[in-house]
Amino acid sequence: MLCVGLDPEPSRFPGAMRGDPRRIYDFCAAIVDATADLVCAFKPQIAYFAAHRAEDQLERLMQHMRTHAPQVPVILDAKRGDIGSTAEQYAKEAFERYGADAVTLSPFMGFDSVQPYLEYPGKGAFLLCRTSNPGGDDLQNQTLASVDGQPRLYEHVARLAQGPWNRNGQLGLVVGATYPAEIERVRALAPTVPLLIPGVGAQGGDAVATVRAGWRADGPIVVNSSRAILYASSGDDFAQAARAEAERTRALLEAARGVA
Ligand SMILES: O=C(O)c1cc(=O)[nH]c(=O)n1[C@@H]1O[C@H](COP(=O)(O)O)[C@@H](O)[C@H]1O
């Protein structure tokens, strides 16, 4: 159930790497090598690469993961969302340029903004549903008076992803570990779609409550932790420390599933 998020921030790199954006690949590859046998996915966040003009390092990292951890799917966290013709370019970027297995998307622009990603057989898209940040409330918790039953916006997204939008079983949903009650609600509405759940670790989400609310034998969950694992140590033992933190988080998730 554990996904390690790859959000490289050079100012937090250890030792001689600190502050050097040219070491983004080296840092992330070391984390990948140290944790690959513990995880069900890796999730590189594209902004952490693009902000440093390090897209070439992201390409190398994607290649590294394919070669050294071919069993681990890679979710490119890009949170895209645009009209169909532009979405086609974003889909090409995610699936052809970077070779990602899945991508994160904002569903705000509607089904035609999601459809181009679904043209890639075997690839997945996780739609933002109830995000981990406090401001997620501002729109996602609004009631839709025009829809039957007057659901909240995030509940409507969950229904669409479980039903009419999920034409080939390629959709999943993003729900924050910081709101377990809402994870439970999403699970009731979307019992079988995979849930990507960020927010454990640095954002303080409850790993045990997350698993109890979201995990089902026929409904997988992918629980992401980024900073708590990446920066578990600021010393030269950073990769070992990342592994230890990943083991600790994974054990918590597994224990919670035992009683789920
Ligand atoms: O789509 C995401 O991955 C995402 C959705 C969400 O609701 N909250 C959220 O934190 N994320 C991402 O998940 C990661 C969380 O990082 P940490 O808080 O360091 O574990 C970041 O890359 C965020 O961009």
- According to the model, what pLDDT value does residue 82 have? 98
Q: Does the beta carbon of 203 lie inside 6 Å of ligand 1? A: yes
- Max CA pair span of the chain: 58
CB 158 within 8 A of CB 137: no
Multiple choice CATH, 2-258, 2.60.40.60, 3.20.20.70, 3.90.180.10, 3.40.50.300 = 3.20.20.70
d(CA 40, CA 257): 15
d(CA 78, CA 6): 12
Long-range contacts of 200-204 (CB under 8 A, 24+ apart): 200/224, 200/225, 200/228, 200/249, 201/225, 201/226, 201/227, 201/228, 201/229, 201/249, 202/226, 202/227, 202/228, 203/132, 203/176, 203/177, 203/178, 204/178
Query: Strand pairing of 75-80 and 102-105?
Result: parallel
* Nearest CA, atom 5, ligand 1: 131
Q: Does the beta carbon of 162 lie inside 6 Å of ligand 1? A: no
Let me know how long the chain is.
260
* Nearest CA, atom 8, ligand 1: 132
d(CA 6, CA 50): 13
Q: Which residue out of 7, 39, 105, 225 has the highest number of ligand 1 atoms within 8 Å of its CB and is therefore the one to mutate?
A: 7
Would the pTM count as exceeding 0.95? Answer: yes
Query: ipTM exceeding 0.95?
Result: yes
Q: Write the CB contacts of 48 (distance below 8 Å, at least 6 apart in sequence).
A: 6, 7, 8, 9, 24
Q: How far is the CA of 133 from the centre of ligand 1 (A)?
A: 9
CB 177 within 8 A of CB 210: yes
- According to the model, what pLDDT value does residue 36 have? 98
- According to the model, what pLDDT value does residue 238 have? 98
Q: How far is the CA of 199 from the centre of ligand 1 (A)?
A: 6
As beta bridge partners, residue 45 has 77
In order along its 260 residues, the chain shows pLDDT tens digits of: 999 999 999 999 999 999 999 999 999 999 999 999 999 999 999 999 999 999 999 999 999 999 999 999 999 999 999 999 999 999 999 999 999 999 999 999 999 999 999 999 999 999 999 999 999 999 999 999 999 999 999 999 999 999 999 999 999 999 999 999 999 999 999 999 999 999 999 999 999 999 999 999 999 999 999 999 999 999 999 999 999 999 999 999 999 998 54
Q: How far is the CA of 212 from the centre of ligand 1 (A)?
A: 20
Q: How far is the CA of 198 from the centre of ligand 1 (A)?
A: 5
Q: How far is the CA of 67 from the centre of ligand 1 (A)?
A: 25
Alpha-helical (H) ranges within 141-232 are 153-162, 180-189, 207-214, 227-230
Q: Does the beta carbon of 224 lie inside 6 Å of ligand 1? A: yes
Q: Does the beta carbon of 104 lie inside 6 Å of ligand 1? A: yes
Map out the domains of the chain as residue ranges. 2-258
- According to the model, what pLDDT value does residue 260 have? 40
Give the CA radius of gyration of the chain. 18
**Catalytic residue annotation:** 79
Q: Which residue out of 42, 77, 179, 183 has the highest number of ligand 1 atoms within 8 Å of its CB and is therefore the one to mutate?
A: 77
d(CA 228, CA 3): 12
Q: In the 8-state DSSP scheme, what is residue 237?
A: T
Q: Does the beta carbon of 140 lie inside 6 Å of ligand 1? A: no
